[in-house]
Amino acid sequence: MAIAKVMGIETEYGISGPGMGDFNPVLSSSLLINSYAGTLRRIRWDYEQESPLRDARGFEPVQERQPVEEDLGLANVILPNGARYYVDHAHPEYSTPECASPRGLVIHDKAGERILERSLEAVRGLLPPGQRLAIYKNNTDGKGNSYGCHENYLVDRRTPFSRIVHDLTPFLVTRQIFTGAGKVGSESPRDEGRHVHYQLSQRTDFFEAEVGLETTLKRPIINTRDEPHADPEKYRRLHVIVGDANMCEVATFLKVGTTALILKLVEDEFLPELSLEAPVPALHEVSWDVSCRRTVRLRDGRRIRALELQWEYLDLAKKFVKEVEPSAENGEVLQWWEMILSGIEDFDLWQRIAPFARPYFIREPLGYYFDRAGNLSFGGHWNKWKDGIRLAFRYGNRVTPLGMAYHISKITAFHTLHGLRHRFLSK
């Protein structure tokens, strides 16, 4: 029987320094985080059990301990809400605490946005006149560099990893029709002169392999990192890197809610043969097809639209929930999933999820905000607080929210469902 799905999201935020001639993203990220952390009690992160090069396919290279954030003098803070806020490479990263439900995870992800917002407010007084930092919740700088939004799911160690690869790949390839953040243009050599003006996902351009350990180059659809942060005899932590950073609450909710549910179907061997003939090319084709009308080829020879494949997954999930795991939480995921797929069929989604909302803004410019369209054209999911599309989206009521504002404010005010860690950190 499938195990409960504990889940979390790690978001690397883009950072820039308008007006800074000698901008250093690493030091600026550290300054940003430390300005927010202030006098919070500093708890060192325990790296003893971490092994990011351990591979689920059975490989475990000999590793020498690499310098970690504290060794390099970079910010690495465990927040009272159970989250981790630290410098990862050249980015500020917010890692949510473990969550037991999709709705809870959305709340913590949105709380992370508030924490970044407050960090910007705190750092403003530390910078010289004429300098400022800007933060972006997107996935590319438009110069060929991508940074991630990674999901993590607890899965049963008894489930063969080969089955996860086989069953989950078609789902991850096609879920971007409702989880993509939307992107102007293409940075992929696979474009081959097709002149992609707009696509559904920001991350897809940077994926080149079906399965692998890498996260920063030759990125795979299925990542094989085997670092469970739990009893390794019982559990895996599936590290999903093929997803966008979402501002839209519905997109985040469906991204984690549907994936957690499909993983339960995988564990219970509930899925039929739905393998794609060529997953990587299909991943790109799906992202480039804003109409959601093109087909991809399955291994059995059938050609099918990404939307049709998602309908198949939804029907199987409905059957699983009815027969195996009926619950209000699963029912909410299924309800939103069906609503969004129906909306895609009718192309009536501009007010609900990001990839379909964004062309609306491109067609109908917002004055000052789109006078700076150079940023939009390479960033797609622009998120500079107090300025630009975030305000237009949130307060212009263009994208359906899930009504979580009250809970988010409580989370950032150091109230948390993760009470045990909170109590330890408060001692």
Say which residue the tokens 């994936």 belong to: 259
Q: Are the CB atoms for 265 and 170 separated by under 8 Å? A: no
DSSP letter string over 358-400? HHHHHHS--THHHHTHHHHHHHSS--BTTBSHHHHHHHTT-S-
Closest CA to 228 of 239, 216, 218: 239
Which distant-in-sequence residues (6+ apart) come within 8 Å of 96 by Cβ? 8, 9, 10, 83, 105, 108, 109, 111, 112
- Among 55, 88, 156, 348, the active-site one is 88
Among left, alpha and beta (phi > 0; psi -120 to 50; other), residue 58 is left
**Amino acid at the residue 39:** T
88 among known catalytic residues: yes
Lookup: tokens for 326 = 């009926």
Q: Are the CB atoms for 122 and 34 separated by under 8 Å? A: no
For β-strands 149-156 and 7-12, DSSP reports them as: antiparallel
- Active-site residue set: 88
